[in-house]
Amino acid sequence: MPRIYDSRKRVLVTGGAGFLGSHLVDRLLRDGHEVLCVDNLFTGTKRNIEHLHADPHFEFVRHDITFPLYIEVDEIYNLACPASPIHYQYDPVQTTKTSVHGAINMLGLAKRLRCRILQASTSEVYGDPAVHPQTEDYWGHVNPIGPRSCYDEGKRCAETLFFDYHRQLGLEIKVARIFNTYGPRMHPADGRVVSNFITQALKGEPITLYGDGTQTRSFCYVDDMVDGLIKLMNSPAEFTGPVNLGNPAEFTMRELAELVRTQTNSSSSFVMLPLPQDDPKQRQPDITLAREKLGWAPTTALSEGLKPTIAYFRQHMAGTASAKK
């Protein structure tokens, strides 16, 4: 429904109290929009958005997107979903419901409002990839019944739903395949490699390398990722994606551990632990499409992005972390 008095765009961010979502909310508010954050606080926290309480253009609604949501907005970013293996494996049925029922509800909302909707998909749709680096036309190598499947297959099904709503009902969709992203406000107990290594290094505890530490990942700093998501949302209607968003600079987990140890001035040792089941051996985005269609490429090197991330974890451990930028 068009509004009578305010010309600001009303943007819904599901998962807006989480790590990525809260940075996206900050940026959208800075860009002059009105932002509605919908989150059930399963892995997100109010602390990530508490600095926005007094902002008249910000609103928080505690809601689980597996249930219908009737509101009025002009644009939807669908980020709600636990993202780290520990979090998404805690209640795998709910994880699949969030991806699938959540997508149906948000697509139903977008259909009623005739508004644009962006899906935060993931590099996990490629599974343990047989093609390297991964391009968007690769269909993936995913176990449908393993411990990661609730997340991987849930996200794959969500992509299917987005494309069927697009083909069948003409909805304007955008699908971002997000590769490993890091930065301040990552949950310190999410078990992800960046948060684990920094926390361990700062405490002087052994740094836990799973497997032999030769598996690779490519890490994108959160500000670069938010920039990519916004560029995708604002791209011409005919560009739906899926498009890879990530930093192509690839590191082994041992290299990451060494970098973190150096940057924290830590004397932590390394300890080798078993590799989790179905853990992808390598991951690196091919971002040619994002460069061409969005004019986007990340600008923050891992060594640079780790600095504010480590500073955040230091404050967090001292109990003085603030989400304010």
Q: Which residues are catalytic?
A: 151
Q: Tell me which DSSP letter residue 269 carries.
A: -
Work out how close the CB of 61 gets to ligand UDP at its nearest, in angstroms, rounded to a whole number: 13
Residue 187 to residue 19: CA distance in whole angstroms: 7
Which of 11, 12, 19, 134 is in the footprint of ligand NAD by CB under 6 A? 19
Query: Which one of residues 209, 222, 260, 294 is an interface residue with ligand UDP (CB under 6 A)?
Result: 209
**Dist CA 87 CA 81 (whole Å):** 9
Q: Which is nearer to ligand NAD, 266 or 309 (CB)?
A: 309
Strand order in the sheet with 58-62: 58-62, 34-39, 10-14, 75-78, 116-122, 173-178, 243-245
Least separation in angstroms between CB 87 and ligand UDP:
10
* Stretch 164-193 residues interacting with ligand UDP (CB under 6 A): 180, 192-193
Nearer to ligand NAD, 83 or 113 (CB): 83
The answer to the question of residue 97 lying near ligand UDP (CB under 6 A) is no
| 197 is an interface residue for ligand NAD by CB under 6 A | no
Q: Tell me, rounded to whole angstroms, the distance of Cα 252 from its chain centroid.
A: 21
Which span sits near ligand UDP by CB under 6 A: 14-22, 36-44, 74-82, 102-110? 102-110
Query: Does residue 243 belong to the site contacting ligand NAD (CB under 6 A)?
Result: no
Interaction between residue 17 and ligand NAD (CB under 6 A) = yes
In whole angstroms, how close is the CB of 46 to ligand NAD at the nearest point?
10
Q: Which of 9, 27, 29, 41 binds ligand NAD (CB under 6 A)?
A: 41
Residue 78's DSSP bridge partners are 14, 119
Burial of 295 (0-12, 13-18, 19+ CB in 10 A): exposed
Comparing C-alpha atoms, which of 175, 182, 140 is closest to residue 280? 140
Asked whether position 256 contacts ligand NAD by CB under 6 A, the answer is: no
Helix (H, G, I), strand (E, B) or coil at 160: helix
**Phi, psi for residue 2 in degrees, rounded to 5:** -65, 150
Give the residue, chosen from 15, 21, 82, 85, that forms a contact with ligand UDP under the rule CB under 6 A: 85
Nearer to ligand UDP, 268 or 300 (CB): 268
CB 278 within 8 A of CB 147: yes
CA Rg value for the chain: 19
Cross-strand bridge partners of residue 75 = 11, 116
Least Cα distance to 120 among 172, 173, 171 occurs for 173
Which one, 17 or 36, has the nearer CB to ligand NAD?
Answer: 17
| CA atoms of 23 and 21, how far apart (whole Å) | 5
Residues near ligand UDP, by CB under 6 A: 68-70, 84-85, 104-105, 108-109, 111-112, 180, 192-193, 196, 208-210, 215, 217, 253, 275-276, 279
Residues near ligand NAD, by CB under 6 A: 14-15, 17-21, 39-44, 64-66, 79-83, 87, 98, 102, 120, 122, 178, 180-181
